C-alpha cells in the first residue's frame, strides 16, 4: 500500500499493552466500536464507525493526521488528510 509524505520521519509508536478504551468515551460513559491510536502523541480514540468518532475529532482539533489501529492483531496506519492506509511492520 502506498505511503503519503506524512509518514516520512514519523516514529511508529507501539500500541500500549493495556488500553482501557477510548479516552473521551470513558469520561462520558459512551461506547466505541474499535480503537485508534494517534501516531503523533499516543492519544487513544474511537474509530469512524463509533458514534462519537473521537480519533477523527482529535485529528481535526490538533492537526495530527496519522493514526494506527489499536486493535489486537491489526498492524496498519492511516492518514486522514490523504485517506491512505499502509501496513506496518
Domain ranges of the chain: 20-87
Whats the size of the chain, residue-wise?
89
With a cut of 90, say whether residue 41 has pLDDT above it. Answer: yes
Give pLDDT, residue 3: 64
Strand order, beta sheet including 76-79: 44-46, 35-38, 66-69, 76-79, 84-87
Answer with the residue of higher pLDDT: 86 or 33.
Answer: 33
- Report pTM: 0.92
Please identify, in words, the CATH class of the domain defined by 20-87: alpha beta
Amino acid at each position: 500500500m502506498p505511503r503519503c509524505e506524512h509518514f516520512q520521519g514519523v516514529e511508529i509508536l507501539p500500541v500500549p499493552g493495556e488500553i482501557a478504551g477510548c479516552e473521551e468515551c470513558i469520561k462520558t460513559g459512551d461506547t466505541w466500536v474499535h480503537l485508534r491510536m494517534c501516531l503523533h502523541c499516543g492519544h487513544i480514540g474511537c474509530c469512524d464507525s463509533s458514534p462519537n468518532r473521537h480519533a477523527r475529532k482529535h485529528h481535526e482539533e490538533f492537526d495530527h493526521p496519522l493514526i494506527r489501529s489499536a486493535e489486537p492483531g491489526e498492524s496498519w496506519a492511516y492518514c486522514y488528510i490523504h485517506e491512505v492506509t499502509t501496513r506496518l511492520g
